[in-house]
Amino acid sequence: MRDRFWEHFALDQLEQDEWEALCDGCGRCCLVKLEDEDTGELHFTDVVCRYLDTQTCRCTSYATRLKVVPDCLQVSVDIAQRYDWLPASCAYRRLARGEQLPTWHPLLTGTRTSVVDAGISVRGKVISEALVPEDLLEERIVQWVR
Ligand code: SF4
Ligand code: SF4
């Protein structure tokens, strides 16, 4: 990886390992989201995709995720720039919109536990969608994800 690549290169100029290193592993993009039909506003819930390991915040079906979960996000520069599906804490979204990496990001702290310590990781805060009936999702909207 090039030294402090996120400060010197645009997202579409990154090498594969640099792109991957931007993901802080928070798991927030795997939260179930609800869209307000009238306003188009997006609401995050504390319900998470059934394929997310809620302890490690890793996808248990990474290789086949786009097949098994049709609305699973394949993060791209375009998505990071144009849509609100990624949380405001996400490095892809921040860099795509001209913002800095947050101070707790593993690329700055040197440890992935800083994401948990900063309260950004979903670890310990979520429940699997396998355990929540769809008609109760509205009751699970949370404000801690922006
Ligand atoms: S929200 Fe962004 S940083 Fe967090 S897991 Fe998803 S892609 Fe990675
Ligand atoms: S399939 Fe994996 S990466 Fe996609 S939303 Fe579910 S847990 Fe997240």
pLDDT tens-digit map of 29-39: 999 999 999 99
pLDDT tens-digit map of 57-78: 999 999 999 999 988 988 999 9
> In this structure, is residue 53 part of a structural domain?
yes
pLDDT of residue 21: 98
Q: How many domains does the chain have?
A: 1
> In this structure, is residue 34 part of a structural domain?
yes
- Ligand 2 within 6 A of CB of 25: no
pLDDT of residue 71: 85
pLDDT tens-digit map of 132-145: 999 999 999 999 99
> In this structure, is residue 24 part of a structural domain?
yes
> In this structure, is residue 2 part of a structural domain?
no
- Ligand 2 within 6 A of CB of 96: no
Q: Which ligand is nearest to the CA of 68?
A: 2
Q: What angle do CA 56, 62, 66 make, to 5 degrees?
A: 135
> In this structure, is residue 39 part of a structural domain?
yes
Nearest CA to ligand 1 atom 6: 29
Q: At 42, which amino acid appears?
A: L
Q: Cβ(145)–Cβ(31) under 8 Å?
A: yes
Domain range holding 53? 10-139
> In this structure, is residue 75 part of a structural domain?
yes
Q: Cβ(75)–Cβ(29) under 8 Å?
A: yes
> In this structure, is residue 146 part of a structural domain?
no
Summary count for the chain: helices (H), strands (E) = 7, 5
> In this structure, is residue 1 part of a structural domain?
no
Sign of the torsion formed by the C-alpha atoms of 80, 31, 35 and 105: negative
Nearest CA to ligand 2 atom 1: 65
- Ligand 2 within 6 A of CB of 116: no
How many CB atoms neighbour CB 73 within 10 A? 16
